[in-house]
Amino acid sequence: MHRLKLDDSGDVLLECLRYLQRKRGFQMGHAYQWLSQQEKDNLKGIYVKFDDRKINLTLGHHPDNLKDKIIEKHFAEPFCTDLDLLIENQKKELICLEIMQNSETEISEIRLKILEILEKALISKSVIFLKIDKSINLDFEEILPLVQWNPGGEFEFDLHFLTSENENLDLEEMSLEPENFLETINSRIRNSEIFEKFGNFRLDSILLSSISSDYEDSEDDVDSENSETEILDPKTSTWQDVFRNLVIMGEVLKNLQLFDIQRLRKTCSGARKCIDRIQPNPHISKYSIQLENNFRIFAEISLDSGEYQLIMYKKDSDIEMHSSGIWYKTVEAEILIPRILQDFEVNLMYQKTEIQEFQLDFCYDYEFKTHSLEQFIQKKVEEVRENSAYAVKKSNGLDSFKEEFLENLEKFLRSKTLKTRKINIGCVSQSEILKILPFLNSEVLKAINFHHPYSGTRMKTNNHVILKILENSNLEIDEISKTEQWRNSEELVISGLPIFTNIQSLDFTNFQFLDILVDTVSSDDVFHLKTELSKSSHFQKFKIAFL
């Protein structure tokens, strides 16, 4: 850090202001304060002429376009402050930056200061367009930092030498014509050896020009980035500035969760950009997706704060309404699945911690609700008798819909492993479960819960009826039990759905809590479980129900 030391004769206040200027762009200045904001923003040229008695600072398109103000006596400091501010706050490329010494009289301090300001500007600004005309003797060592600083080769340097004060230099000896010499300088400009060889030159002009074709875009980006990260000036800032400031918004967002973040994101583009860059944790605790049928899906999102939203994705309608605490979102038919998965991805994108539960249900509430209970039970009993547990799904085209959904979900889970402590799946097929379970983070997953979709959360009151209907349904879990997720989990609950796989072929020893439903259980099975589970050091409770 550049450390300034004050002595008693030093202008403490000025140093104070300059410190603030450097830290905060506190735009005090001298000539600078006479400029209108428009002039500051559209500065095209800075022309400096100096000798030992005065410094002329001319601003505008051309030196003739003068702002005539005079600062008497101690003019060097104010000049440097002004030049610093002008270059630092330059919004557009300069057509010309010309620095000329009127006489051969050296004011080395001023010259060094100018170079220091330019160097600082070049380092802090990623793109700049400068033409520096100098008709002064200049030691290369002074300007070397400027020339060496050329990130990404963005600048092209042309140094024009008309004469050399180095008597040892013999251009002819180097077999170089002046034009070729210039080219050579251009091509070798990044090699500092050139300076060691040629020593001190009379430098007549330096042209730094941006060779980046996307110059304007990159400058816009830089400006926009700066405005978001910079410390705001209390005098001129608005709430709008506050809502797009990364530091302040970062602190605000630490106290907000998904729904408030989403609402804040919709207020204005500044807040939106800021939130997207900060990527705040949405604090989702539970994400539940229920496929009711092929034209209606529910998503329920619960947050750590206890807030929740129930969102209905419905085909063939574009109405969005909010009623009784439920958000109904509707989307066009052909994009129903991509839309719900896109929301799922976006909502969880910045989740920094694992969610507590991910629930997926293939339930048929809608059908249940559209029939009387008796009609519904009768229909289901008939379907089950016909040994067609999927009849209802097939008749609704739900099978293909569910397949499409699972395929898309599998793709998503393959690309981004979901971290959830509990998985709760309501379906009747091992193959469907295997499209989800293996892609969950096995280190985080501690509880596995399978249930029949008819016994989903929204059908609880009728579980006993539904269970009777579905007693012929069963679930194979042989492949599931081989997954890493199964092996690392501590809790397994399979409800409303008898296990079809032979118990003795399954390894339950990793579980602390077990609650399963089986078709039949033999004395051999019980003996096997007793033997196996007694070997486990963390086994706590095992409940087997059978039909």
Partner 1 sequence: MSSTEQGTSSAAPAEPTTAPESAAAPEVPESFYYVHGKDKVVHKVSAGALQHSALIHGMISNLGYTEEQAKANPFPFENIDGDILQMVVDWCNQHKGKPTPPEDTNLPKQKEKLFDLVLAVNYLEIKELLTYCCKQVAMMVKGKSPEEIREIWMIPTDAEDEAAEKEAKKRAGKEAAGETAAAAGDAK
Q: Is 482 left (phi over 0), alpha (psi -120 to 50) or beta?
A: alpha
CB 144 within 8 A of CB 196: no
Among 159, 253, 301, 497, binds partner 1 (CB under 8 A): 253
Residue closer to partner 1 by CB (options 184, 267) is: 267
Among 9, 38, 323, 520, binds partner 1 (CB under 8 A): 38
Which residue type does 489 have?
S
When asked if residue 243 is in the footprint of partner 1 (CB under 8 A), the reply is: yes
Output the smallest distance, CB 114 to partner 1, in A.
23
Among 232, 384, 465, 533, binds partner 1 (CB under 8 A): 232
When asked if residue 325 is in the footprint of partner 1 (CB under 8 A), the reply is: no
When asked if residue 9 is in the footprint of partner 1 (CB under 8 A), the reply is: no
CA atoms of 499 and 520, how far apart (whole Å) = 9
Residue with tokens 């003996």: 527
Stretch touching partner 1 by CB under 8 A, among 5-13, 48-56, 281-289, 527-535:
5-13
When asked if residue 24 is in the footprint of partner 1 (CB under 8 A), the reply is: yes
When asked if residue 118 is in the footprint of partner 1 (CB under 8 A), the reply is: no
Among 255, 372, 520, 523, binds partner 1 (CB under 8 A): 255
Output the smallest distance, CB 235 to partner 1, in A.
4
Output the smallest distance, CB 250 to partner 1, in A.
8
CA atoms of 499 and 483, how far apart (whole Å) = 17
Please report which residue ranges of 177-214 form alpha helices under DSSP H.
178-187, 193-198
Apex 347 CA angle, 306 and 229, nearest 5: 100
CA atoms of 447 and 424, how far apart (whole Å) = 8
- Say if strands 321-323 and 308-314 run parallel, antiparallel, or are unpaired: unpaired
CB 423 within 8 A of CB 399: no
When asked if residue 263 is in the footprint of partner 1 (CB under 8 A), the reply is: yes
Q: In what order do the strands lie in the sheet with 130-138?
A: 55-59, 45-50, 96-101, 130-138, 201-210, 155-164
Look at residues 439, 265, 425 and name the one whose alpha carbon lies nearest to residue 350.
Answer: 265
When asked if residue 543 is in the footprint of partner 1 (CB under 8 A), the reply is: no
Residue with tokens 């086994």: 539
Would you list the DSSP string of 141-154? HHHHHHHH--GGG-
Output the smallest distance, CB 259 to partner 1, in A.
9
Residues in the chain, how many?
A: 547
Among 16, 222, 333, 545, binds partner 1 (CB under 8 A): 16
CA atoms of 138 and 162, how far apart (whole Å) = 13
Among 163, 237, 378, 431, binds partner 1 (CB under 8 A): 237
Phi, psi (rounded to 5 degrees) for 94: -80, 140
When asked if residue 326 is in the footprint of partner 1 (CB under 8 A), the reply is: no
Alpha-carbon distances of 5 from 16, 18, 505, rounded to whole Å: 12, 13, 81
One symbol per residue from 57 to 76: x for binding partner 1 (CB under 8 A), - otherwise; what is it? --------x-----------
CA atoms of 57 and 81, how far apart (whole Å) = 12
Output the smallest distance, CB 215 to partner 1, in A.
21
Output the smallest distance, CB 279 to partner 1, in A.
17
When asked if residue 303 is in the footprint of partner 1 (CB under 8 A), the reply is: no
CA atoms of 333 and 314, how far apart (whole Å) = 8
Stretch touching partner 1 by CB under 8 A, among 181-189, 233-241, 287-295, 500-508:
233-241
Stretch touching partner 1 by CB under 8 A, among 141-149, 217-225, 264-272, 515-523:
264-272
When asked if residue 106 is in the footprint of partner 1 (CB under 8 A), the reply is: no
Stretch touching partner 1 by CB under 8 A, among 169-177, 188-196, 230-238, 296-304:
230-238
Residue closer to partner 1 by CB (options 66, 222) is: 66
Would you list the DSSP string of 255-284? T--HHHHHHHHTT-HHHHHHHHHH-----E
When asked if residue 539 is in the footprint of partner 1 (CB under 8 A), the reply is: no
When asked if residue 531 is in the footprint of partner 1 (CB under 8 A), the reply is: no
CB 284 within 8 A of CB 303: yes
Stretch touching partner 1 by CB under 8 A, among 266-274, 349-357, 466-474, 518-526:
266-274
Residue closer to partner 1 by CB (options 168, 238) is: 238
Please report which residue ranges of 386-434 form alpha helices under DSSP H.
391-396, 398-415, 430-433
Stretch touching partner 1 by CB under 8 A, among 162-170, 194-202, 246-254, 464-472:
246-254
Report 456-495 residues binding partner 1 (CB under 8 A).
none
Stretch touching partner 1 by CB under 8 A, among 268-276, 338-346, 413-421, 439-447:
268-276
When asked if residue 450 is in the footprint of partner 1 (CB under 8 A), the reply is: no
When asked if residue 346 is in the footprint of partner 1 (CB under 8 A), the reply is: no
Output the smallest distance, CB 225 to partner 1, in A.
17
Burial 430-447 (b: 16+ CB within 10 A, else e): bebbbbbbbbbebebbbb
Interface residue list for partner 1 (CB under 8 A): 1-6, 8, 12-13, 15-17, 19-20, 23-24, 26, 38, 42, 65, 231-240, 242-243, 245, 247-248, 251-256, 260, 263-264, 266-269, 271
